[in-house]
């Protein structure tokens, strides 16, 4: 039995980690931190976890609490993990960071996109970008894994096969994405209150969204070709879910049938990706680690349309982290991860 810890277990992704780990046969949660909730029982904050964790208590973060753990999941706001990881990395088996602190390789990118200097830039070169479907071999045995973000996962998976096959231009890609409110995190914000979100769809992060360099970096690494994207997310009145619609200019003769074949070739063997000729929906992936994807080619305008849906808290965060941990510790990759969505 692997012993794991969760840093930041009082937020949405931390709570989702706790939920998913209840069904994992090889992991035992030994410690969960939440500085603002220290001393409070987990089930007092999340009654949905009462039967699973009747005695688990949130603790204030102390590095020594992590000593000897097989894996630590960091479910912390941006900027916090980079101050903690150097203190615990040598004393734990693996760290899987759900945040963005170790996803970008260039320290200057954190200045440009996050408006802050990275606290430990020397760690960036050796961190592993945790998108299993594209970088599985690199993840195996990885010590510090930066799990892919929710918006980035949907966007990257929608485009990677087509860029690798060089059937679309790599520098004129447009991504329009719709996400549920939980993607903004648990702390209340003016734009995530009920009255702000209900019956309203709002674009945000116009031209400056922080997932843009992550998307470009991963696609460029995977396709071995410089990639540029125009990424525009929208906040929608739903708790969970992401749908990304990506557009690319076709460079060669390409039909819808061929585009679907490319997706089957790329993802047909993947346990969590369903390739379909039908348009995917966010509800179909609710509560699961599944990704649903389809594609179309508009021959009139020579444009590829690739559409992906996933649950932003599972495949886009906590499920992604567990999948990475399974691979890193050479455990069956699918353990503890649901493939069926909730319906209705």
Q: Which residues are catalytic?
A: 150
CA distance 247 to 196: 29
Task: Please give the span between the terminal C-alpha atoms of the chain, in angstroms, as a whole number.
Answer: 35
Report yes or no: 142 and 328 within 8 Å, Cβ to Cβ: yes
173 within 8 A of 228, measured Cβ to Cβ: yes
Strands 128-130 and 144-147 come out as parallel
Q: Are strands 27-33 and 58-59 parallel, antiparallel or unpaired?
A: parallel
**What are the φ and ψ backbone dihedral angles of 172, each rounded to 5 degrees?**
-135, 45
Crossing angle between the packed helical segments 319-328 and 132-139, to the nearest 10 degrees: 30
CA distances from 195 to 101, 126, 240, 241, 282 (A): 32, 44, 17, 20, 22
3-state secondary structure of 42: helix
């Amino acid at each position: 039995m692997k012993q794991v810890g969760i840093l930041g277990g009082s937020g949405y992704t931390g709570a989702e980690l706790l939920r998913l780990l209840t069904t994992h046969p090889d992991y035992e949660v030994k410690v969960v931190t939440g500085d603002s909730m220290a001393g409070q029982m987990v089930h007092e904050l999340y009654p949905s976890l009462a039967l699973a964790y009747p005695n688990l208590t949130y603790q204030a973060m102390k590095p020594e609490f992590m000593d000897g753990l097989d894996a630590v999941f960091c479910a912390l706001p941006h900027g916090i993990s980079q101050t903690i990881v150097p203190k615990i990395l040598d004393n734990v088996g693996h760290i899987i960071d759900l945040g963005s602190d170790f996803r970008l390789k260039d320290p200057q990118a954190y200045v440009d996109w996050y408006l802050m200097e990275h606290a430990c830039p020397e760690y960036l070169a050796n961190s592993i970008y945790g998108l299993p479907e594209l970088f599985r071999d690199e993840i195996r045995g990885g010590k510090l894994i930066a799990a892919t973000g929710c918006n980035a996962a949907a966007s990257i998976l929608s485009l990677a096969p087509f860029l690798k096959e060089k059937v679309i231009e790599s520098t004129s890609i447009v991504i329009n994405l719709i996400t549920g409110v939980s993607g903004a995190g648990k702390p209340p914000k003016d734009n995530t209150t009920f009255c702000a979100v209900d019956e309203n769809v709002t674009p945000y992060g116009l031209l400056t969204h922080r997932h843009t360099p992550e998307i470009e970096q991963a696609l460029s690494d995977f396709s071995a070709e410089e990639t540029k994207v125009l990424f525009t997310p929208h906040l929608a009145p739903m708790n969970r879910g992401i749908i990304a619609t990506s557009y690319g200019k076709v460079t060669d003769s390409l039909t819808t049938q061929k585009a679907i074949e490319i997706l089957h070739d790329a993802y047909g063997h993947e346990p969590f990706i369903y390739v379909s000729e039908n348009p995917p929906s966010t509800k179909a992936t609710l509560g699961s680690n599944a990704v649903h994807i389809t594609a179309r080619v508009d021959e009139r305008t020579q444009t590829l349309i690739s559409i992906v849906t996933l649950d932003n808290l599972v495949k886009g965060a906590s499920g992604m982290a567990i999948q990475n941990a399974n691979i890193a510790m050479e455990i069956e990759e699918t353990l503890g991860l649901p493939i069926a969505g909730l319906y209705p």
